[in-house]
Structure 1
Amino acid sequence: MRGPCARLRSSFGDADVDIIRLPGDVIEVRSRTTPSAAPTSTLNWLQHWATVTPSTPFLSEVVDGIRVSVDYATAWDAVVRTAFALLGSGVGRGDRVVVVAHNGVDSFVVGHAAMLAGAVWVPIAPQYLGLGADRTKIAQVLEKISPALIFVPDDTLRARVPQGYDVVGQIATDGSAFEGNTLLGHLTGGDRAKLLLTSGSTGLPKAVVYTHRMLVSNVRATAGCLDVRHRSSTCSRRLVTLESRIRR
């Protein structure tokens, strides 16, 4: 039984949805917005907005008490340069690139560079290497993932990574001009893009596979339900994201 149209409010925006009650006390919430055309990867959106609105703020973080913002063009350029640097270091298609870092510009760039290079981004929370953390858990996780490269920008945390892996604190790029569209053309929706670890509450954390198509679908579903275009909060003005722009 289809319920009435609903406008659901949340901290992320207003959701324009149908609420459908199915047998077995199942409630389905379905967007009433026609979905946008789906690209191969979320990276296609980043490249698009870097071209259309290059100077628009995209990423923002606080560093040493000072807010630092990065526009679309700068972010895309950093992702492309880092992707070619990863390829030059020997990271290949399908390889796992672990990123142990707090959410920020660096983790975004390296993770998306890994995906652009055809590798698989594996974000791991810094708590795995924190003081007092169970060292056997991170050792088991890394053994299972078998990464080609581990990126840990924090010096203290980097020293706690188990031996036997290629661990770096930064990825050097040069001033050469690179064309990111070439790498985009090699990606397919079915390629593995990301591994997300479960919490491990019942044992060893499990790696959940996300393809490029799955990430795109997640973003489209979020943007389709939430009317993010009309938010006026300070947060939305400063933190412009892919999700908030794909339907414009």
Structure 2
Amino acid sequence: MKTTDTTELTFPLSGDTAKKLVFEHWDFLQHLSRRRFPNDDNTAHLALDHVLEKLEEQQWHRVRTWSGQGKFATFLAVLTARLMTDYVRKIYGHQRPPKWLTEQTDPIWKEAYRVLILERFERQEAISLLQTRYQDLNLGSIQEIVSQVIAYCPSRTRYQDSHSVPIEDVAEPGSRDYSPEIETEPQPRELLEVLEGYIRGETPQPAEAKPLLEKLQPHLQLSDEDRLLLRLRYCEGLKINQVAKLMHLKGDPYKRLNKILNSLHTACEKAGLT
């Protein structure tokens, strides 16, 4: 199926165009569902059925509300997350918010809790979504709120499955030739945990990780896109071809990945940690 060029669309969308856009993102929807229900394939499947059923209503009315602002994938992710939340509430009832959250008066706190804890978006994704909705707040304030919600809820479930690639593979990049990934020797656990926290973009990190992070930080120069690639590959266990498709990467994804891993390894060497 040829991918739709969103810059050439006319708005409001037709029902057929909305349907086509959704099914072009079907793999992405499946990924969101598996991440939301990492330990229950049946619930993930039923929730995705619920999402599709709701999206189809009134000639794809919900999808046709997209006006072309921002990426369609971001719009669809937010819409899907809310429909999945509706499904969970329908089946299991409402989850009572924690006491510290009910004491907050600014609605952005509840929104941050929803996208991070209930809908399982990662830190950087949550920040981007909150920026879209609360455009009057500066980035620093949003980042601080997200960091505090994560700190209040340190045990939030992370997506892992039997096909996940261990974070050990990130610490040592293997061959510098641009070929598919090669199994590598694991590094000390403390270093791996610091790297995982950096890849996920989570702050604050545990106090014991601070000295290592201070050594590494001056040498780490990965872009947000590089970190997202690493997180999808190593923290969420997606295969490299799946990552390339989700992120719309151009060129050889193995070459891109090895280049990032090499830069991480170089940073560890410069920091005197390998």
Q: TM-score normalised to the size of structure 2?
A: 0.23
By percentage of residues, which structure has more helix?
A: 2
Q: TM-score normalised to the size of structure 1?
A: 0.24
Where relative contact order (Cα < 8 A, 6+ residues apart) is larger, the structure is 1
